[in-house]
Amino acid sequence: MNQKIKNALISLSDKENLISILKILKKYKVKIISSGGTYKSIKKLGYDCTELSKYTGFKEMLDGRVKTLHPKIHAGILHDRQNKIHKNEMNIKKFPPIDLIIVNFYPFQKVVMSTSNPKEIVDNIDIGGPTMVRAAAKNYKNVAIITNKNDYSELVKELEKYKGKTSLKFREIMSSKAFGLTAYYDAMIANWLNKKLSIEFPERKTIFGRKLKKLRYGENPHQESSIYINDYEDQKLGFIQLAGKELSYNNYNDMFASLEILDSLGKETGTVIIKHANPCGVSKNKNPIESFRNAFACDPLSAFGGVVACNFKINEKMAAEINKNFLEVILAKGFEKNSLNILKRKKNLRIIDISEYKSKNLTSIKYFEGAFLVQNKDKTILDRKKLKCVTKLKPSKKELNEIEFTFNVSKYVKSNAIVLCNNFSTIGIGAGQPSRFDSCRIAIQKAKKFQPQKMKNSIAASDAFFPFTDGVEALIKAGVKIIIQPGGSIRDQEVINCANKGKVKMLFTDIRHFNH
């Protein structure tokens, strides 16, 4: 059912491209109602408009907090044009129908990003706008609601196609968008209040997100996918793509995994290589190119087609080293001009500048059928004051730094996780095995295959306790001299005895790092 537009109410904080709407409304003799800055803008552009207070006969009050909250406005929006009782009531009151609402809200989102002043933020929580939007969206059978300036062109096409009318399908689509916006807006406000009050796990959890783009497909070609931004700055992620194919679902998944590890390295120069969301090489070194070489040497087979993340600027020499290998994505804090020219020789390589990227979200969420789990992110590494050496042999202060690095990497590896390191570089990683012993075997096999000379005097980290001595025995036999683990097994003493017998140093952290 097509609906003729006779009266439209326009209330905008963002008045960009308003002229395109005014032209089409004038063409089809639509009367416009507006107030405040929008009214002035319409008049300034040379179009007729009735001021809201004149239309309602009620002057706005409370610094503009109450202006559209009036029966003449909401009855005009909400009444059912096919309902005889509604029509009769409207005739008695002499309230005309309002057939089109064009609204955007107070810029709460923008204000939250620009100030920490609670009064200013609360003053920018819109009430009248969302109320009108919800009313119009509910009555989509009769009313068209436009909440996004990107839909102005669609409205123009609709009115041109149907000679000043809108179709039911169009109104229904716009209603869906409108309810999406009000939910998004309310979720942002609720999340701001929860953060202000330090409520991490509210009774009702609302997650807001704006679609950044539709991706070619999901994890597999038969799956559809899009990426959303869950932040008040919802226009960009802080990634600047300089070259290469479009980023895929799997690329994003690996990129975020790499950035978490990179962030944990702090200001120290480091490189992270990710494959299928698991690290297959992590190294920190004052020399950037050495950090890359060491990370890549950990598991060059797995690094094939992987994602590389560096917390430094890429120069010409580094670019030449990177180009020796097949990689999907390179992330770095800037690229020198000559380095870009080298990297761009590989047309499919996605080159991403992460200079503007900042890690903000301290919550992780996992979705299931009809439920989701929420938890704080695992930001703890270890507390040196609580670190307990349980063996006769004790580590030096220098060794403690590398022990901490190794244990830190283990928390980003899928459980069960075993990480082997030598000189602040991973040399073998065992990930995602149901058996911890199997993870030990895989880590040892990787190290022996690619860097056997570095197995001697290496450090091993386990994300959880050793339930038996078998894994520890395998590590000692391979050449490991220091083992760090949470402890907490009923067989801890057996494990400690095994370490003492093998003349290795063992430390308990009392901190587990499961990553499922």
Spatial distance between the Cα atoms of 30 and 26, rounded to a whole number of angstroms: 6
Give the active site residue among 40, 74, 86, 138.
Answer: 138
Residue 470 — left, alpha, or beta (φ > 0 → left; ψ -120 to 50 → alpha)?
Answer: alpha
Spatial distance between the Cα atoms of 239 and 149, rounded to a whole number of angstroms: 25
8 Å CB contact between 49 and 34 = yes
Q: List the end-to-end C-alpha distance of the chain, in Å, as a whole number.
A: 52
Give the active site residue among 86, 149, 177, 276.
Answer: 276
Environment class of 232 (CB within 10 Å of its CB; exposed 0-12, middle 13-18, buried 19+): middle
Residue 423 — left, alpha, or beta (φ > 0 → left; ψ -120 to 50 → alpha)?
Answer: left
Give CA angle at 424 (422, 427), nearest 5°.
45
Tokens 């809200």 found at: 105
- What are the residue ranges of helices labelled H in 2-70? 18-27, 36-44, 52-56
Spatial distance between the Cα atoms of 414 and 277, rounded to a whole number of angstroms: 9
Which residues 6+ apart lie within 8 Å of 252 measured at CB?
215, 227
Tokens 């301290």 found at: 362
Going from the C-alpha of 502 to that of each of 41, 481, 495, the distances in angstroms are 82, 9, 11
8 Å CB contact between 178 and 143 = no
- What are the residue ranges of helices labelled H in 234-343? 249-264, 288-298, 300-303, 316-322, 337-343
Q: Is 222 a catalytic residue?
A: no
Return the active site residues: 138, 276
